[in-house]
Amino acid sequence: MRWTGAFSLTGPTAMETLSGVFLDKAFIGACGVDVLRGATIIEPDEAAVFRAMVRQAKQVIVVADSSKIAMVSPALICSVTDIDILVTDSGIAPEAVAGFGANGVQVLVV
């Protein structure tokens, strides 16, 4: 674990473990989701683990509240074309929904 309270596994052990499993669905929490830049997060080590999850998953589901839409954090998780479903709240702008849809992302508003 990188730091107390994060509950996020990073490093070589996490990467090795992920290389040996296949995921039906990967649920990814992001700090920012942008139509042009994709899903991003603050910590590069966590982003590397998330990228490994994306590579191993049949379906990628990004979860981010509407305040994170059109935001970009420093570390790339995946491009928008790697995202199958974006789960967010009703605060998402209609233009953003259209932009994600144009890139093949299903937007699920809950």
Q: Please, what's the b/e burial string for 7-26 (b: 16 or more CB within 10 A of its CB; e: otherwise)?
A: ebebeeebeeebeeeeeeeb
Over the stretch 50-91, which tens digit does the pLDDT of each residue have?
Answer: 999 999 999 999 999 999 999 999 999 999 999 999 999 999
Share of the chain above pLDDT 90, in %: 75
- pLDDT grade, residue 1 (50/70/90)? very low
